[in-house]
Amino acid sequence: MRKIIITNFRCYEEKTMSFRRSINLLIGDNSVGKTSLLRACNLIINAFFSGYSDENTVWKSAANDDFRERRSEDIVDTDLPIKITFWLDKSDCPDIVLEDGTTKSLQSNEPEAKAECARFYIEKKSKKNARNLITGINTLKDFASSLQNSSHIIVDGKAVQKNALPLFAYFTTEDIHTTRKFDKEKKKFKKYPQKPSFGYFESYDSKGLLDCWLKRLLVLKEAKKGEQEIECVRKAVISALGPSGCNIIDNFEIRHNDGNVFFHYCDGREVRSDLLSDGYRRLVSIVVDLAFRCALLNKVMYGDEAFKLTHGTVIIDEIDEHLHPDLQVRILKALHETFPKLQLIVSTHAPLVMSSVENNENNVVYRLDYKDGKYSHTEVDTYGLDANLLLKERMKVSVRDIKTSSLFEQLDDYLKNKDIEHAKSVLYELENLTDPQQPELVRVRAIINRLELIGK
């Protein structure tokens, strides 16, 4: 997606934001609208399923708690109608080759000045409506339906793929601590061959699916089928999590006789999938999920390289959750290089994640703020900055606890005023509270010594 305008959605009265092709990172304090923005983006990518529809897909509508209320101390007014306007381009929806050899392009739902983008809108008038209105997405619905009908065909018993299918996925902060309760549907993970549309199964909320995908690996290995799917997942795991990526996992082994998948760490250890640490498990969950979806959607066209060539949009809330700082600085680059055609819309609180995003025409970092009753966002350059600078200058927070931060501020003031005696007193207190050999205190002692020499 290229641009969105959110109206009366959750905390937002109206919000406009542009996105770029590769990495879009949202930062900011709690309660500044990051998750609400991601939820709106999820509804946008899910609009594809208004037209591409079968037993594996669900077209999600705005939920009751997505409506924005007007309230006073005494009453709550009628819910305001939700409207989410969005723009897509050919990188989101490439032209389709139809059965007769002609092509079909995505057309804007309304006349649009920018020919390179197509404009649509999702609308839901009230909680009484069961689903979103389709008025604003009619041409997108028709395009998605045409893509469904012309992506795959079977000729003389052999599958042929004419058009690549886009990937969509949404990962919340609950993804590794959720047990999915759909026993009937879990059987689908054991089925081979599967419909390409299974790559969209539960894509609007990918939480709790890792064990299901690992079960599919076991079933495919035991049946000696689905080699392209297995290798697509293996290559993606090695690329994203191996030495050139996050440098934690360099392979995995499917032991169907044991009923387990074992992951090989880069340091030589071997760990059963259910014993992975939370941080490793979350990364494995995201990479395996995306790789399987790429393979299911586009293996006929791209083989086991589908993870490199599949386009689409992926949303990840709090990418830093459970991650060691060494992984925080690596993860976005690893995901982008492994899945280079996927647009990533991601939130984080971690300075090292922010520092890893190179500022260029394909990436952007937005700091979200709330002040004086208004939600705003600002583009910021965070690439290569150290964590302390990011915390102080970009996130506007202290890098120390309140007490020591106050003492350091006092110390700076005394040094600026060349008040050596008071500076020494505060320095002594800090040396007893913290590590006296930390660089900042070593620097302060040097300044005091220099001031004393000048005074003599």
- The structure's pTM equals 0.88
pLDDT tens, residue by residue, 116-131:
789 999 999 888 877 7
Structure tokens at 378: 């600002």
Enumerate residues 6+ apart whose C-beta is below 8 A from 341. 308, 309, 310, 311, 312
Q: What is the pLDDT of residues 33-66, one digit of tens each?
A: 999 999 999 999 999 999 999 999 999 999 999 9
Look at residue 175 in the predicted model and tell me its pLDDT.
72
CATH class of 3-394: alpha beta
Cα→Cα distances 73→77, 80, 104, 119, Å: 11, 18, 54, 39
Are 332 and 23 contacting, i.e. CB atoms less than 8 angstroms apart?
A: yes
Helix (H, G, I), strand (E, B) or coil at 48: helix
Residue-wise pLDDT tens digits, 82-100: 999 999 988 899 999 998 8
Whether the pLDDT of residue 321 is over 80: the answer is yes
Cα–Cα distances in Å, from 344 out to 156, 174, 336, 358, 364? 39, 18, 8, 14, 11
Query: What's the average model confidence in pLDDT over 153-182?
Result: 88
Do 72 and 15 form a contact (C-beta atoms < 8 A)?
no
pLDDT in the model for residue 389: 76
222-250 exposure pattern, b = at least 16 Cβ within 10 A, e = fewer:
eeeebebbbbbbbbbbbbbbbeebbbbbb
Residues contacting residue 194 through CB under 8 Å, at least 6 positions apart:
188, 296
Q: For residue 113, what pLDDT is reported?
A: 47
Strand, coil or helix: 221: helix
- The pLDDT mean for the chain works out to 91
Spell out the long-range contacts of 376-384 with Cβ–Cβ below 8 A and sequence spacing 24 or more. Answer: 377/17, 377/26, 377/28, 380/27, 382/27, 382/351, 382/354, 382/355, 382/357, 383/355, 383/356, 383/357, 383/358, 383/359, 384/355
pLDDT reading at 311 higher than 90: yes
Written as six digits, the tokens of 156 are: 């003389």
Q: Give the pLDDT of residue 308.
A: 98
Statement: residue 188 has pLDDT above 60: yes
Query: Hey, what are 419's tokens?
Result: 């008040």
pLDDT in tens, 197-209: 999 999 999 888 9
Distance CA 159, CA 75 (A): 60
**pLDDT at residue 362, rounded to an integer:** 96
Separation CA 150–CA 48 (nearest Å): 15
- Say if residue 388's pLDDT is above 80: no
Q: Which of 188-202, 315-329, 375-389 has the lowest mean pLDDT?
A: 375-389
The dihedral through the CA atoms of 312, 124, 13, 397 has a sign that is: negative
- DSSP 8-state secondary structure symbol assigned to residue 47: G
As annotated, the residues of the chain forming the CATH 3.40.50.300 domain(s) are: 3-394
Query: What's the pLDDT band for 2 if we cut at 50, 70, 90?
Result: very high
Amino acid letter for position 136:
G
Phi/psi at 273 (nearest 5 deg)?
A: -55, -35
pLDDT, greater one: 434 or 357: 357
